Amino acid sequence: MFVSMCRRNTPAQWEDITGTTPLTFINDCVSFTTNVSARFWLIDCRQVQESVNFSTQVYREIICVPYMAKFVIFAKTHDPIEARLRCFCMTDDKIDKTLEQQENFTEVARSRDVEVLEGKPIYADCFGNLVPLTKSGQHHLFSFFAFKENRLALFIKIRDNTQEPCGRLSFMKEPRNYRSLTQNAICNLNITLPSYCKESDSDQEQEEEVKADTASSTLLH
């Protein structure tokens, strides 16, 4: 038995009161008596020592509001072996009104509606013949907020330029674990990079400036 004495509009902080609260079991029902106004939570947990930590993690998950959203990926190949990706996770139909349409980006993938939790981080990673340009121990991630333009910019490199410039971009709730054989993803999208077209010198200089800004803002430890 857990209790939280926090105010209604603040996140609960759970305390184990099992040892001080008499519980009455009748058939499949459990009842108890209290003289205080608070939030109570009765759970069945075999590992008693981990019950508070476990319940806190579960509580943080269930209070997040789920929304149905789409993942959309735009790509622009600025080098024979490198490209820029801009990923969106949006709940409305404003995807076709983004600046990427004016900056010669090409839409390379769009998901069906998938469930995404408000305020939770989303980790992005590449597989196949595409490799994200990151430093060791760093991740590409962004947080989802409903009715906002949730955008993630990243640079990728073609692993083998003798093969097709294609791969899979996965969006996950947790960073990629190389020791795990399986990892559930929020969404998986297959992408193929657009053909490379040589840009003017001014475009390349602007590309390098954006690349430097993106590396400092989207790569987190």
Average pLDDT over residues 65-79: 93
The answer, yes or no, to whether residue 202 has pLDDT greater than 50, is no
Same domain (yes/no): 78, 50 = no
Give the global pTM: 0.71
Q: What CATH number is given to the structural domain containing 49?
A: 2.60.220.30
Q: Where are the strands (E) in the chain, listed by range?
A: 2-4, 15-16, 24-26, 29-31, 39-41, 66-77, 82-90, 106-110, 114-117, 121-128, 130-132, 139-143, 150-158, 166-172, 187-192, 219-220
Q: What is the pLDDT of residues 88-134, one digit of tens each?
A: 998 887 666 677 877 889 999 999 999 999 999 999 999 999 999 88
The answer, yes or no, to whether residue 84 has pLDDT greater than 90, is yes
Same domain (yes/no): 87, 133 = yes
Average pLDDT over residues 37-63: 82
Which band of pLDDT confidence, cut at 50, 70 and 90, is reported for residue 212?
Answer: low
Q: What is the pLDDT of residues 148-167, one digit of tens each?
A: 889 999 999 999 999 999 99
Same domain (yes/no): 47, 75 = no
Does 218 fall in a domain?
no
Same domain (yes/no): 73, 139 = yes
Structural domain for 150, as ranges: 66-192
Helix count (H) and strand count (E) of the chain?
A: 2, 16
Same domain (yes/no): 105, 59 = no
Average pLDDT over residues 124-145: 89
If one compares 38 and 208, the residue with the highest pLDDT of the two is: 38
Same domain (yes/no): 186, 85 = yes
Nearest to 174 by CA among 92, 117, 215: 117
Q: What CATH number is given to the structural domain containing 162?
A: 2.60.40.2660
Q: Based on C-alpha coordinates, what's the Rg of the chain?
A: 23
Does 201 fall in a domain?
no
Please state the domain count of the chain: 2
